[in-house]
Amino acid sequence: MEAIITATELADDLGGPNPPVLLDVRWQLTLTPPGTPPFDGRAVYSAGHLPGAVYVDLDEELASAPGAHGRHPLPDLAVFGAAMRRAGVSAGRPVVVYDGGQGWAAARAWWLLRWTGHPDVRVLDGGLPTWEGALSTEVTEPAEGDFEPVPGAEQLLDADGAAALARSGVLFDARAGERYRGDVEPIDRVGGHIPGAVSAPTTENVGPDGRFLPASELHDRFKGLGASEAAPVGVYCGSGVSGAHEVLALAVAGIPAALYVGSWSEWSSDPSRPVAVGPDPQ
């Protein structure tokens, strides 16, 4: 099953006999000064979205409240399932997810649906900016879907599993290199990385237009960073959002990978966990 879809392919599928459910998951990680309104995904959805798309709130429906397990821990399955059914998601109908172009939020929804057993989910490569058709301002109210999430279809790591994988396989850190090295840390308690993790910024998986690099280039990139058929692969980031985008890039490259959802926001919150700094994994 392909993990991504182009805007041209999506337009064709929407005109076919079994058109996909469309999920709009526009979201931004923004560090705004006090008093500045945060990014409002519902507002940008209302201003214009793909015809038939339903808005899904990443913070409210694709994650639980921030806490001991990080800034974007796994959502309550009842909340997630209800949100997907409200959006019209059913097991027998394909789903296409998009965001504003960065791809992180769409990948989070893609990963969650795959993890909970949906068989046919793709991300619009390059997001909304690649769509050349008309946009709609009408709020979509689809018929209730029948999707019931059953976790376990995709690989999931906890903190101990991530630490073990960094020693026994390959654990990629999808954050920017300066955060991996510990040069800066704008969000979490301390900078650095999980000992043994390899720096693999997710921004290097896409071209200037925001679309993924060709599968062969992605495969060569990850192979050059240590991924192979002989060792399991995992990914973490700051809070399990951009890391999902790296898992998606690995899927495009044909490399299965687990996601550590708690990521650095969970790992670094516990002072007893070791922290490595600098460019070297150890």
240: phi then psi, degrees, rounded to nearest 5:
85, 15
Q: Is position 237 annotated as part of the catalytic site?
A: yes
Candidates 121, 135, 124; CA nearest to 6 is 124
CB 244 within 8 A of CB 279: no
| Those residues with Cβ within 8 angstroms of residue 93's Cβ, 6 or more apart along the chain or in another chain | 18, 20, 21, 120, 145
Give the up-direction half-sphere exposure of residue 53: CA atoms within 13 A in the CB hemisphere: 31
CB 235 within 8 A of CB 256: no
Collapsed DSSP state (helix, strand, coil) of residue 171: strand
Candidates 126, 131, 119, 124; CA nearest to 94 is 119
**What's the count of helices (H) and strands (E) in the chain, helices before strands?**
10, 10
- Rounded to whole angstroms, how far apart are CA atoms 150 and 9? 29
Collapsed DSSP state (helix, strand, coil) of residue 14: helix
- Token pair 């980031």 is at which residue? 237
Candidates 14, 40, 215, 15; CA nearest to 96 is 14
Collapsed DSSP state (helix, strand, coil) of residue 240: coil
- Rounded to whole angstroms, how far apart are CA atoms 280 and 196? 8
Catalytically annotated residue among 89, 237, 241, 247:
237
Residues labelled catalytic: 237
